[in-house]
Amino acid sequence: TTNTVGGGSISISPSGGSYYTPTQVTLTAQPDPGYVFAGWQGDLQGNANPAALMMNIDRSVTAVFIQPGSGPITLEETVTGSSYDSSSIATGANLSAVAGDLYLAAFSTRGNIAVSTVSGLGLHWTRLGARCGARGQTRTEVWMAQGAPEAAGPVSAIFADVPLNAVVAVTRYSGVALSDPVGNLITGNTNGLDGNCSGGNDSDTYSFNFTTTASNALVYGAIGIRHRTHTPGVWYTERVEFASGDGGDKAGVAVQDRTVAAPTTILFNGTLNSAVDWSLVALELRPIASYYTLTIQTSGAGSVSLDPLGGTYPAGTEVTLTAAPDAGYFWGGWSGDTTATTNPLLLPMNGNRQLTATFLPVQPLTVQAKAFLAGPFQADTMRTDLRQIDSLPLSQPYSGSPWNYNGNESVTAIPPNVVDWVLIKLRSSSEASSEFAGRACFLTSSGSIIDTSGNAAVAFDSIAYGNYYIVLYHHNHLAIMSDTTQALDNASPLYDFSTAQSQAYGTDPMVQLGAGSIFGMIPGDGNADQTVNDADREAVWRLLNGTDWSYGKQADYNLDGSIDVRDLNLYWRLGNSRSSQVP
Tell me the per-residue pLDDT of 512-529, one tens digit each, with 9 for 90 and over.
998 778 999 999 999 999
Give the C-alpha distances (Å, rounded to integers) separating 67 from 100, 290, 292: 10, 12, 11
| Contact between 219 and 180 (Cβ < 8 Å) | no
Q: Does one domain contain both 405 and 256?
A: no
- The answer to the question of residue 582 being in a domain is no
Question: Considering its fold, how many domains does the chain have in total?
Answer: 4
Predicted local confidence at residue 343, as pLDDT: 96
DSSP state of 92: S
- The answer to the question of residue 502 being in a domain is yes
Last residue of a domain, one of 66, 95, 116: 66
Tell me the per-residue pLDDT of 101-145, one tens digit each, with 9 for 90 and over.
999 999 999 999 999 999 999 999 999 999 999 999 999 999 999
- The answer to the question of residue 60 being in a domain is yes
Q: Does one domain contain both 400 and 430?
A: yes
Q: Does one domain contain both 453 and 527?
A: yes
Choose among 139, 108, 102, 91: nearest CA to 124: 102
Helices (H), 216-288: none
Q: Does one domain contain both 90 and 42?
A: no
Hey, which bits of 69-159 come out as E strands? 74-84, 88-90, 102-110, 115-119, 126-132, 138-146, 156-159
| Contact between 310 and 36 (Cβ < 8 Å) | yes
The DSSP secondary structure of 370-399, one letter per residue, reads E--BTTTEETTEE--HHHHTT-S-SB-S-S
- The answer to the question of residue 11 being in a domain is yes
- The answer to the question of residue 580 being in a domain is no
Q: Does one domain contain both 105 and 229?
A: yes
Label each residue of 6-68 as H, E or C. Answer: CCEEEEEECCCCCCCCCEEEEEEEEECCCCEEEEEEECCCCCCCCEEEEECCCCCEEEEEECC
Choose among 505, 471, 509: nearest CA to 488: 471
What number of other Cβ atoms are within 10 A of residue 194's Cβ?
11
How many residues in total does the chain contain? 583
| Contact between 522 and 510 (Cβ < 8 Å) | yes
Q: Give the rounded distance of the alpha carbon of 142 from its chain centre.
A: 40
**Amino acid letter at 239?**
R
Cα separation of 374 and 523, whole Å? 6
The DSSP secondary structure of 517-544, one letter per residue, reads S-EEBPB--TT-SSB-SHHIIIIIIHHH
Cα separation of 21 and 220, whole Å? 45
Contacts of 450 (CB under 8 A, 6+ apart): 415, 441, 442, 444, 456, 458
Cα separation of 195 and 184, whole Å? 17
Q: Does one domain contain both 348 and 468?
A: no
Q: Does one domain contain both 514 and 553?
A: yes
Q: Does one domain contain both 271 and 317?
A: no
| Contact between 137 and 110 (Cβ < 8 Å) | yes
Last residue of a domain, one of 344, 361, 378: 361
Q: Does one domain contain both 351 and 374?
A: no
- The answer to the question of residue 144 being in a domain is yes
φ, ψ (nearest 5 deg) of residue 569? -75, -35
pLDDT tens-digit profile, the chain (583 residues): 999 999 999 999 998 888 988 999 999 999 887 888 889 999 998 888 999 999 999 999 999 998 877 669 999 999 999 999 999 999 999 999 999 999 999 999 999 999 999 999 999 999 999 999 999 999 999 999 999 999 999 999 999 999 999 999 999 999 999 889 999 999 999 999 999 999 999 999 999 999 999 999 999 999 999 999 999 999 999 999 999 999 999 999 999 999 999 999 999 999 999 999 999 999 999 998 788 899 999 999 999 999 988 788 888 899 999 999 998 888 989 999 999 999 999 999 999 999 999 998 888 999 999 999 999 999 899 999 999 999 999 999 999 999 999 999 999 999 999 999 999 999 999 999 999 999 999 999 999 999 999 999 999 987 888 999 999 999 999 999 999 999 999 999 999 999 999 999 999 999 999 877 899 999 999 999 999 999 999 999 999 999 999 999 999 999 999 999 999 999 999 999 999 999 9
Predicted local confidence at residue 81, as pLDDT: 99
Q: Does one domain contain both 304 and 409?
A: no
- The answer to the question of residue 581 being in a domain is no
Write down the number of H helices and E strands in the chain.
5, 43
Last residue of a domain, one of 305, 326, 361: 361
Predicted local confidence at residue 95, as pLDDT: 98
- The answer to the question of residue 475 being in a domain is yes
pTM over 0.75, yes/no = no
Strand pairing class (494-496; 486-488): unpaired
Helices (H), 430-557: 534-535, 542-544
Cα separation of 339 and 321, whole Å? 13
Q: Does one domain contain both 533 and 421?
A: yes
Q: Give the rounded distance of the alpha carbon of 384 from its chain centre.
A: 56
Strand pairing class (61-66; 2-5): parallel
Choose among 538, 574, 542, 534: nearest CA to 558: 574
Q: How many CA atoms lie within 13 A of 32 on its CB side?
A: 11
Q: Does one domain contain both 162 and 42?
A: no
Cα separation of 306 and 386, whole Å? 60
Structural domain range at position 44:
2-66
Choose among 243, 140, 127: nearest CA to 194: 140
